[in-house]
Every structure is written in C-alpha cells, then in structure tokens.
Structure 1
Amino acid sequence: MQAKPLALVTGATSGIGKETVHSLAQKGYEVMALGRRRDRLGSLASLSKDITTHVLDQSKPEEVEELCCKIKSLEKPISVLVNNAGYSVRGVVEEVPLDAVRRMYEVNCFSLIRLTQACLPGMRKARSGWIFNLSSISGKLTFPANGFYSSTKHALEAITDALRAEVAPFGIKVVAIRPGPIATEFGQVVGALSPWLADSDEAYKPVHEKAMGFLKQVTDPASIPGPRVVSDLIMEVLAKKDPKPAYAVGPMTGDLLPSRLEKDDAAWCSYLCGEIGLDKLKI
C-alpha cells in the first residue's frame, strides 16, 4: 500500500485553515494541523485518524524553532505546505504601537519563513512539493488604517515571488492565494487586537469613519463567502500540472484588485482618496 503524502497547515483551528485540513484529509493526505488553541485542535483531530495536531503560537520564535526541528526529523517529507496563519491589527500609522507591529510580523512573515525553510530540504530531495502562501488582496493594495497588515502581505508576496523562481528547478510549485473578505473570525480578532482604536486621537476620527464607511459600502455581508471557497480553490490548484503563480477569490477581487494592478501609484492614490472621500476632507 502506497504511503499517504504528508501536508502541513498552519492556523488550523478556524476558518480557512480548518477547512483546508478537512479537505486535505478527505483527499487522502496525512495532515499536520498547527494552531494556538489546544481545545480546538483536539476536536479537529477527532475528525480523522489522518489528522495529527500540534500546539504552536507563531508569535513565539522558540516554539516555531522547536516545531521546525520536528519537521526535519520526520521520516517522510512535507508534500504540501499551507502557510495560512495570520492576523491583522488596524489603526493609522501614527497610533499603532510598534510592539503590536512586531508581533504581527512575527506571525505573518517570520514564522512563515522559518517553517518554509524547514520544509524545503525534504521537498528538494523528493524533487516535488507544493507551497501555498495565504496572502490577501491586501498584498497588492491597501486602505487607510490597514497599512501595517497590508505591509506584511506585501512582504509575503515578495517572498513568494522570489521563492517560486528559486525552487522551480526542483519541481516545487509555489502559489499565492489572495482572498478578499471571507466570513471567518478574522474581523473579530482585528477588533480585539486593536484596542487603541477606542482612544484614537479625535483628529483621526474622520479618517477612520471615512475608511470604515467605504469598506462597509464595498463589502455587502450577504455576498461574503465562507472559508470553504478558499479550501476548494487550494484543492483545485493541487490538481493542476501547471498552476498560475497566484489566484484571487472572493469579494473585491473582481473590481478593486484589477483596478490597483492597472493604475500607477498617483492614479491609484487619487482614485482611492476619491472613493473613500478623503480628497475633500480637511481637518
């Protein structure tokens, strides 16, 4: 009997990560599911004998390094790596504490890099493998009060582009997935981890109001899909011999994302400020 290929999914306790773990197990993979919440990992493992779980807080480099040592000692290589873990904080550049920015980079970028480094030797030896980096439409555009999160995704896009070329000779495929708004716990986490918004300087309140009003206007809650659309896309791409470098899915990917890619920086700034209403705002 042929051994099942091994997949690793970060941020597996909810949303896109959880759905992807389910889908991979159903497709015949053994799945290592990583996440912070031990209770949720327990319920995830009970769904299939092919799912093993590991508690990992990706904001803590020492925990990431310990997990990387385990990866290197595995008897078989990781065949599919889904770098899904990530979160956002919101606020204008002047007001977000630098420690909060550092922690977000630790989770969204540095731990992702380290886990990828740990998986690559096995993939290179096997001359095959898949790496899915969960970016965002924010990896190609940004909004007021969302600059720091977008910057982590811009960094991820650059890492993905470089890595894709570096490992192509080894038969390893690297794909960026760019979701628009997806119905997960993401928004709740943003609010919980951005307490400074409540004490924002009065001068910035009109900026926040304009930015949040615009986002509400372009994201009709009734049109926001659940995380299954992303896991289904990953499964669809896994079946392709020649995948595209990146795939977008969900709201705002059919209008705002193409608009940003088509416009130069000056045209985009003018368009964005006009759409949000910041072009006429004088404080």
Structure 2
Amino acid sequence: MSSLANQVVLITGASAGIGEAVALEAAKQGARLVLAARREGVLQTVKDLVVGRGAEALVVPTDMADTAQVEALAQKALDHFGRVDILVNNAGYGQMGPVEEVDVAAMRRQFEVNVFGLHTLTRALLPQMRERGSGRIINLSSVAGQMSMPFSGVYNATKFAVEALSDALRVEVAPFGVKVILIEPGPVATEFGRVAEETFGAVVNPNGPYKAILDSTADMASSFNKMAWPVEKVVEPIMRAMTDPHPSDRYTAFTGGKLALGLMRLLPASLADQMWRRIYKLDQLGSPESV
C-alpha cells in the first residue's frame, strides 16, 4: 500500500491534536474518513476542513469510555462505507498524579478510554479485516509505554497495556493479512499537556504527603513542553505506518527516543530511581531518613 486513495480510515480522537492532523493529511491523499471524538461541534469543524480537501467524511461523536458507543461507532462506519481499511486508535489522555492519590474512579476511566475503548473498537472491526485478508491497526502508544515515571504511573500502566495488547495481536492476526503497528511519541505540542496538568491538580491533595512537589510541577511541565515535537512531525511516522508496504512494528516519535529507551533498559533500577528522584526533586518529600 503506497497510497491512501479510496482507503477507509477510522480515526479516534479526531477532533484535535494528532488525530486532526492525521485526518487532514489522509484527506490530502484521497482517504475516506470516519472521524470520532466526544466533541461533535469540533468534529464538524474538522469534517469541513477535510471535505474542503476533497475527502468524504463521516462524523460519529463517541465517548471511548462507553462500550455501547464504541460498538456503535464501528457499526456506523461499516454501514456507511462497507469496510474500514485502517483503524487509527488515537484517542486517549493522561491521568497524572501520585499513584497513591489517584482514586479508583479516575484510574478506571483512564483504562476505559486508553485501553478498553481501544480493545472494544479493535475487536469490532477485526472480523471484516480478516475476511478481506487485509487491514491495518495503528495504536498510539507512547514512550511512556516503554518506561514508567513518577507521577504518571497510572497513565504509564495504560500505555504498557496498549504495548502488550499490540505485540500479541500483531502476531495473532498476521496470518490473516492484518498489520498492527505501534506509534510511540514523546511530548507533543497538543492539548495533552494541559489536560495532564489538570488531571494532576485534580487528584493531588494540597495538604497531603506530596504537597512539597506541587510548586515544581509547573517547571517540570515547562521542561517537557520545550522537548515537545510539533504535531506535524509526529504525523510523518503515522503516515508511513499507514502507507508503507512493509511498515515497522513500531515507530518512536521522540528525539533520540530509540537511544534513550535503550539506555534506560540497560540502566540498573537503582540508578534509574536516583535519576527520577533528581529530575522530579523527590528529596523534598518525606523525612531525611526516608530519602
């Protein structure tokens, strides 16, 4: 596959950021699009943009945490276009905060959106891909799916799960002509950072045991934002995953990402822990004896 002309591409999280950018680029290449996200008004705006580029588009407002809505999304796409050639599982957000202070409800919603919604939609669309003997499933993971960091453990857990599901699924469906590809961005200049800061602030008790690091979170966010790739740069490997006749199993979309991940795997856990403690200024927490 070298062109997206007439390919039916379903994109979740298509109302902004990476999802919107992928939709616009796919429209330029002649794809027929199914656009899914919660915000119908914003989705309509994206639809107008892709139609303006000559593409056909179907808008399906969907909350990925709602299994019935996700299943309905798949059925509406199949009813409208007859098939889905490429599924881009892009929808997701980052629930940040100390593991201790992220309550069960917040953790459950994080998994519902980032993992269970992805799983539900994939299961719903796989049968028609298998029957045709072709299809691509592109799962947006993260470098956070390869290494866990303080104060993003719940988010990391969802991305580790996406990696595990994808690696297993890739082998299972290869005999049917279906390809499964992981995309692993680092920081990206999208709404993700703002939402992550909001979820962090929503769970951390200002009078709790982690209050000492609250003042440093803005500095940390600023540092990560400086490393962020523009959305358009992240779209490039996604488009390769969609069109390359022989795509890689995973694309790391982060400056020095492969090298950094390789070094982290070689680093003893004790040294990695020390590094994270310095970066996140964790020596401010607890008693002198505990640090």
TM-score greater than 0.5 by the shorter chain = yes
Deviates more, 1:140-149 or 1:56-65: 56-65
Match for 1:100: what amino acid?
A
Rounded Cα–Cα distance in structure 1 between residues aligned with 2:256 and 2:108: 28
Gapped runs of 5+ residues in structure 2?
none
Partner residue of 2:245?
Answer: 241
Deviates more, 1:107-116 or 1:90-99: 90-99
Partner residue of 1:9?
Answer: 11
Is 2:59 the partner of 1:34? no
Rounded Cα–Cα distance in structure 2 between residues aligned with 1:154 and 1:45: 32
Rounded Cα–Cα distance in structure 2 between residues aligned with 1:252 and 1:18: 25
Rounded Cα–Cα distance in structure 1 between residues aligned with 2:148 and 2:78: 37
Q: How far apart are 1:215 and its partner, in Å?
A: 5.7
SS of residue matched to 1:34: strand
- Pick closer, same or farther for the CA change 1:130–1:195 going to 2, 3 Å: same
Name which of 118, 122, 128 aligns with 1:116.
Answer: 122
Partner residue of 1:260?
Answer: 264
- How many equivalent residue pairs? 279
Is 2:210 the partner of 1:199? no
Partner residue of 1:172?
Answer: 178
User: Normalising to structure 1: TM-score of the pair?
Assistant: 0.89
Identity of aligned pairs, percent? Answer: 34
Rounded Cα–Cα distance in structure 1 between residues aligned with 2:30 and 2:147: 36
SS of residue matched to 2:58: strand
Match for 2:71: what amino acid?
E
Rounded Cα–Cα distance in structure 2 between residues aligned with 1:109 and 1:163: 14
Partner residue of 1:53?
Answer: 59
Partner residue of 1:159?
Answer: 165
- Pick closer, same or farther for the CA change 1:200–1:62 going to 2, 3 Å: farther
Deviates more, 1:198-207 or 1:227-236: 198-207
Rounded Cα–Cα distance in structure 1 between residues aligned with 2:31 and 2:220: 42
Rounded Cα–Cα distance in structure 1 between residues aligned with 2:184 and 2:81: 32
Rounded Cα–Cα distance in structure 2 between residues aligned with 1:220 and 1:104: 22
Q: How far apart are 1:239 and its partner, in Å?
A: 3.0
Deviates more, 1:223-232 or 1:90-99: 223-232
Gapped runs of 5+ residues in structure 1?
none
Rounded Cα–Cα distance in structure 2 between residues aligned with 1:246 and 1:134: 10
Deviates more, 1:142-151 or 1:253-262: 253-262
Is 2:254 the partner of 1:250? yes
Rounded Cα–Cα distance in structure 2 between residues aligned with 1:54 and 1:146: 30
Name which of 6, 18, 21 aligns with 2:20.
Answer: 18
Larger helix fraction of residues: 2
Q: How far apart are 1:158 and its partner, in Å?
A: 0.2
Is 2:79 the partner of 1:77? no
User: Normalising to structure 2: TM-score of the pair?
Assistant: 0.86
Aligned CA RMSD, in angstroms, stands at 2.4
What do the CA deviations read for 1:229-266 (whole angstroms, capped 9, x no partner)? Answer: 12221112333222221111134625543322333544
